Amino acid sequence: MDDLYKEQILDHYQHPHNRGTLPDATNSYEDSNPLCGDKIRMELKIENGVIADVNFSGKGCAISQASASMLTDEIKGKSLDEVRHIDKQVILDMLGIPLGPARIKCALLPLKVMKASAYGIHEWGDEDEE
């Protein structure tokens, strides 16, 4: 089963979904993971409390880029209330492979950036801890 998830991660890394800029974005935020050099910017178009569109840009390892690609697929068309409930476990389940502490930070950077963009939340709970 891990091989299937590894292939999915590689596919999202090589062919990311929703990559680029969003000219009519209403919200955006950018952050980085200095430990391994990952950098993610997420741009959201929020209409009537719903994420109507989302794009991301940045650079980094396969885990951070695949996580961003998968997360944008997950949140597009969802309400801000639905998105608020996306947490560390949702991201880890999407990736589907065990990750060590350093790679968890890579995987969760897009979640942190998305929440900061959507809600202005820059730090919260233990989202980036194992």
* Percent of residues, the chain, with pLDDT higher than 70: 89
Rg (CA), the chain: 13
The model's pLDDT over 25-38, given as tens digits with 9 standing for 90+, comes to 999 999 999 888 99
Mean pLDDT in the chain? 90
Per the structure, how many domains does the chain have?
A: 1
Instruction: Name the region of 119 (left: φ>0; alpha: ψ -120 to 50; beta: rest).
Output: alpha
Q: What is the dihedral of CA 116, 118, 121, 123, to 10 degrees?
A: -40
The model's pLDDT over 6-19, given as tens digits with 9 standing for 90+, comes to 889 999 999 999 99
Max distance between CA atoms of the chain, in angstroms, equals 40
Distance CA 23, CA 109 (A): 23
Say whether pLDDT at 122 is over 70.
no
- Answer yes or no: is 124 within a domain: no
Model pLDDT, residue 34:
86
Task: Read off the CATH number of the domain in which 35 is found.
Answer: 3.90.1010.10
- Answer yes or no: is 69 within a domain: yes
- Answer yes or no: is 126 within a domain: no
Q: Per DSSP, what are the bridge partners of residue 39?
A: 32, 59
**Is residue 45 helix, strand or coil?**
strand
- Answer yes or no: is 89 within a domain: yes
- Answer yes or no: is 84 within a domain: yes
Distance CA 43, CA 55 (A): 5
The model's pLDDT over 71-118, given as tens digits with 9 standing for 90+, comes to 999 999 999 999 999 999 999 999 999 899 889 999 999 999 999 999
Say whether pLDDT at 125 is over 70.
no
Say whether pLDDT at 130 is over 80.
no
Domain range for residue 87?
2-119
Say whether pLDDT at 49 is over 80.
yes
